[in-house]
DNA sequence: CATATCGTTCAATACATACTGAACAAACCA
DNA sequence: TGGTTTGTTCAGTATGTATTGAACGATATG
């Protein structure tokens, strides 16, 4: 084997961090997600800050974002004062749902513009409508996947 | 009508600017794209800088990015020294292609990690594979739309 | 009760990068 | 040929936001 498992784990965590950044999320949020995908188990708040070598404030912020998106869940352990976090049960469904909401919002905004264009402006309207349709098609496709995953 | 056509146009251009920003593109690139979607005609380099009230350097950079993504085309006009730019013929196909390429890249990176995980690590491997599958499904869906659009 | 530990908040900082504008080369013009 | 106009480049600046770390309230512990 070229790399140790530990090296592969670190590389994976960093990859997800970069991907999160590309998606407009804080990099640390992506690294937390990557760590929890890899480990699968419940990891303590302090352990996250320790392993990722970032401040507790960053962990607080990152976990809040991931919780909002339903990508992770907060867990209480008996006899433990710390919070624990674990990958949620259906993280990829949640990702798709977030993607769909984002696409729908984009379409809604363009549709709003469309409503402001007088019918006489047929060509402008056609071009803007084609743009809205782009998001509509994407949203529909994502919705199809979601339906499949749930069945 | 609540807004003049000109106001609707400006609002649309700004919307696309913000959307570009959310997609990791420079805001000005989005505004150029929005303007060209709206107008449909060939617009000169100087006119873009003038209308959007930005530097020529920014127009140079924005148009380069949009040209690379095949969202717009550069046009030469007889007797005109300036460059002109116009919305490309199939801009939304190009958008989908860019989306697909991005999804495929993400999947490839995760697959690379997957190959580094020993088979004995069944659970880790399953979680990472599920993540790769997320991108695989999305890519396949986008590809389906592309096939439809081309037929 | 006093002390310790926990997660959150927020002002200050670090950081990445979009944008500007001057310098430049190339192409055109007089 | 000298002077304009054109688009590009790139060093410097501006801008947005991620991250830190100290202060804080809440809660457990002894």
Q: Which residue has tokens 């990859």? A: A15
Chain B CB contacts of A123 under 8 Å are 40
Residue B12: name the closest of A27, A71, A34, A111 by CA. Answer: A111
ipTM of this complex = 0.93
Residue A70 confidence class, pLDDT cut points 50, 70, 90: very high
Q: Which residue has tokens 């997957």? A: B114
Reduced to 3 states (helix: H, G, I; strand: E, B; else coil), residue B14 is helix
CA dist A97 and A90 (Å) reads 11
Residue A137: name the closest of B49, B42, B122, B142 by CA. Answer: B142
Q: Average pLDDT of B79-86?
A: 95
Q: What is the overall mean pLDDT for chain B?
A: 96
CA dist B28 and B13 (Å) reads 10
A-chain residue closest to B138, CA distance:
A142
Residue A150 confidence class, pLDDT cut points 50, 70, 90: confident
CA dist A140 and B109 (Å) reads 26
Phi, psi for B84 (deg, rounded to 5):
-120, 150
Q: Average pLDDT of B34-57?
A: 98
Q: Which helix (H) or strand (E) holds A87?
A: strand A83-87
3-state helix, strand, coil in chain A (%, to 5): 70, 10, 20
Which residue of A3, A138, A144 is in closest CB contact with B116? A3
Q: Is 80 exceeded by the pLDDT of residue B2? A: no
CA of B53, C1' of D6: distance in angstroms? 18
pLDDT tens string A99-132: 999 999 999 999 999 999 999 999 999 999 999 9
* pLDDT at residue A15, rounded to an integer: 97
CA dist A44 and A36 (Å) reads 11
Q: Average pLDDT of B104-108?
A: 97
Chain A CB contacts of B89 under 8 Å are none
pLDDT tens string B48-61: 999 999 999 999 99
Q: What is the DSSP string of B42-55?
A: -EEHHHHHHHHT--
CA dist A12 and A31 (Å) reads 9
Task: Calculate the dihedral angle through the C-alpha atoms of B35, B38, B40, B46, rounding to the nearest 10 degrees.
Answer: -20
* pLDDT at residue B151, rounded to an integer: 81
Residue A127: name the closest of B15, B36, B85, B27 by CA. Answer: B36
CATH for A5-88, options being 2.40.110.10, 3.40.50.720, 1.10.10.10, 2.40.50.100 = 1.10.10.10
The contacts of residue A128 (CB under 8 Å, 6+ apart) are A110, A113, A114, A117, B12, B37, B38
CA distance B46 to chain A (A): 22
* pLDDT at residue A1, rounded to an integer: 65
State the nucleotide closest to A55 in CA–C1' terms. Answer: D20
* pLDDT at residue A122, rounded to an integer: 98
Residue A3 confidence class, pLDDT cut points 50, 70, 90: confident
Residue A138 sits at the vertex; the CA angle it makes with B63 and B85, to the nearest 5 degrees, is 15
Q: Average pLDDT of B33-42?
A: 98
Q: What is the overall mean pLDDT for chain A?
A: 96
């Amino acid at each position: 084997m070229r790399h140790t498992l530990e090296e592969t784990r670190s590389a994976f965590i960093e990859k997800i961090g970069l991907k999160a950044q590309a998606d407009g999320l804080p990099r640390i949020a992506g690294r937390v997600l990557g760590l929890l995908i890899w480990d699968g188990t419940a990891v303590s708040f302090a352990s996250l800050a320790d392993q990722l070598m970032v401040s507790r404030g960053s962990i607080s912020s990152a976990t809040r974002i991931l919780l909002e998106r339903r990508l992770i869940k907060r867990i209480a352990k008996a006899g433990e004062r710390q919070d624990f976090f674990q990958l949620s049960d259906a993280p990829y469904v949640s990702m798709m749902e977030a993607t769909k909401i984002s696409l729908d919002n984009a379409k809604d905004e363009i549709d709003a513009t469309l409503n402001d264009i007088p019918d006489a402006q047929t060509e402008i309207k056609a071009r803007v409508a084609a743009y809205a349709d782009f998001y509509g098609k994407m949203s529909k496709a994502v919705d199809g996947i979601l339906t499949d995953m749930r069945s």
